[in-house]
Amino acid sequence: MSPTLPPAQRGFSRTAVMALLGRSGPLSRVDIARQLGISSATVTQITKQLLVEGLITEADSVPSAGGRPAIRLMVVPAAGRAIGVKVAPDHVTLVHVTLDGTVTDSTTHPFDAFADDAVDRLVALLAPEVVQWPATAPLMGVGVGVPGRVGRDGIVDSPVLGWHALPLGRVLTRGLGLPVLVENDVNTVGIAQLLFGRGRELDDFLVLTLGWGVGLSLVQDGVLRRGASGAAGEIGHVPVTDNGRLCACGNRGCLEAYLSFAGLVRTAAEHGVLEAGDRPEALTALAEAGESAALEVLRGAGRLLGRTVAGVINVADPQGVIVTGEGMSLWPYLSDGFEPALSRHLFRPMDGVGVIADAWNDQVWAQGAAAVILSAPFTSPASENDPVDQVRARITARAARDAATARKDASS
């Protein structure tokens, strides 16, 4: 075998090594070769270059079968930074994160998505964040999470924000002068789980988000599935009854019409537990106080959810389901109905699928948006004009410049 790999194979293997280290944490070269099914010589060649570029470093040594301790390699957190932005109808949450997903700064700004000049205001809000950061680590780009459908070209259709066929990715990229990747907000949580969360140990999983809406992201073979139009995972619009409530999407009987905060409050009002228009926190308070009618409303909603999720599991065959979102305060009460309904409707071979409840904080949406940028060095190249490749180019250009400076310093 030739000691030098052809460029295409080198690019792919290099990405695969970064992806593996990003997802698994520190590994020895022997483990990298075994897990990727490539030769030790190839791993040595690739990791040597990544070490020179400062993208990975030696973490520690572990005992090995051969007697000589094996050095483990890890991704350098400060080798790159990203900004994550979550857009909601009335506010924008923004975080700065390092390459390992650590949040270094977080702010929330009031915002009116329905204003005529909403996108101009978003650019004005983000512009100072892009320039104020010192160039100690390359800012790889800005990830933006929005509720709604996001096409591959960053075009947004979001009834929640009042945005239709809006080329948000292109407008923000031009306005900020660096790569901007726009993604559905539930998908951003899926990517964050895959890179930094409970999904690290799983290749096939679902992330179910509960709260103002009901969403799902689908990860198969370690890859987020977006579907043909970018709308995969719309579990909230699975029909659960004939001629049911009118959903915000225009159809009747969708899951979200019953399981969103508004849907749960409406059911509670129909049972005389709450007043129509009450806040969801009122329902949580009644459940926490053990009010039996409130508990029965939540148990019933949990049954509906469990039956629907069983159907998705039977189709997707995941290893596990991660449940999260701002509605997690209601999960202990929903799960009373969810668990038995799920096990009753699961196809037998799927019996072992685990349900993992994951704690929530409000930064997670924005952290997920940043993960869309951070995952770029860890995903396979698509095309020359792909914004993901522009993100990758920023981090490698910076690393190459640093390496050249270091070589010059060493020789002077």
We find the least distance from the C-beta atom of residue 22 to Zn ion, in angstroms, to be: 36
3-state per-residue secondary structure call for 32-76: HHHHHCCCHHHHHHHHHHHHHCCCEEEEEEECCCCCCCEEEEEEC
We find the least distance from the C-beta atom of residue 231 to Zn ion, in angstroms, to be: 12
Which residue, 61 or 241, has its beta carbon nearer to Zn ion?
241
Q: Contacts with Zn ion in 216-255 (CB under 5 A)?
A: 237, 247, 249, 251, 254
Which residue, 11 or 253, has its beta carbon nearer to Zn ion?
253
Report whether 236 contacts 260 (CB < 8 A).
Answer: yes
Task: Give the separation between CA 165 and CA 156, rounded to whole angstroms.
Answer: 6
Report whether 140 contacts 394 (CB < 8 A).
Answer: yes
We find the least distance from the C-beta atom of residue 87 to Zn ion, in angstroms, to be: 21
Report whether 96 contacts 138 (CB < 8 A).
Answer: no
How many residues of this chain bind Zn ion (CB under 5 A)?
5
Edge-to-edge strands, sheet with 81-87: 103-110, 91-98, 81-87, 139-146, 180-184
Report whether 336 contacts 302 (CB < 8 A).
Answer: yes
Q: Contacts with Zn ion in 170-189 (CB under 5 A)?
A: none
Which residue, 11 or 244, has its beta carbon nearer to Zn ion?
244
Which residue, 5 or 254, has its beta carbon nearer to Zn ion?
254
Which residue, 199 or 263, has its beta carbon nearer to Zn ion?
263
At residue 294, the 3 state secondary structure works out as helix
We find the least distance from the C-beta atom of residue 344 to Zn ion, in angstroms, to be: 25
Q: Report which residue type is found at 5.
A: L
Phi and psi torsions of 350, nearest 5°: -95, 5
Which residue, 170 or 252, has its beta carbon nearer to Zn ion?
252
Which residue, 249 or 293, has its beta carbon nearer to Zn ion?
249
Nearest CA to 192 among 328, 331, 360, 338? Answer: 360
We find the least distance from the C-beta atom of residue 256 to Zn ion, in angstroms, to be: 6
Which residue, 26 or 253, has its beta carbon nearer to Zn ion?
253
We find the least distance from the C-beta atom of residue 266 to Zn ion, in angstroms, to be: 14
Cα distances (angstroms) measured from residue 224 to each of 14, 121, 191, 320, 393: 20, 31, 7, 15, 22
We find the least distance from the C-beta atom of residue 160 to Zn ion, in angstroms, to be: 12
We find the least distance from the C-beta atom of residue 402 to Zn ion, in angstroms, to be: 50
Pairing mode of beta strands 56-62, 70-75: antiparallel
Q: Contacts with Zn ion in 249-288 (CB under 5 A)?
A: 249, 251, 254
Task: Give the separation between CA 284 and CA 291, rounded to whole angstroms.
Answer: 10
Nearest CA to 122 among 89, 80, 82? Answer: 89
We find the least distance from the C-beta atom of residue 251 to Zn ion, in angstroms, to be: 5
Which residue, 109 or 245, has its beta carbon nearer to Zn ion?
245
Beta bridge partners of 321: 206, 355
Residues that bind Zn ion in the complex, under the rule CB under 5 A? 237, 247, 249, 251, 254
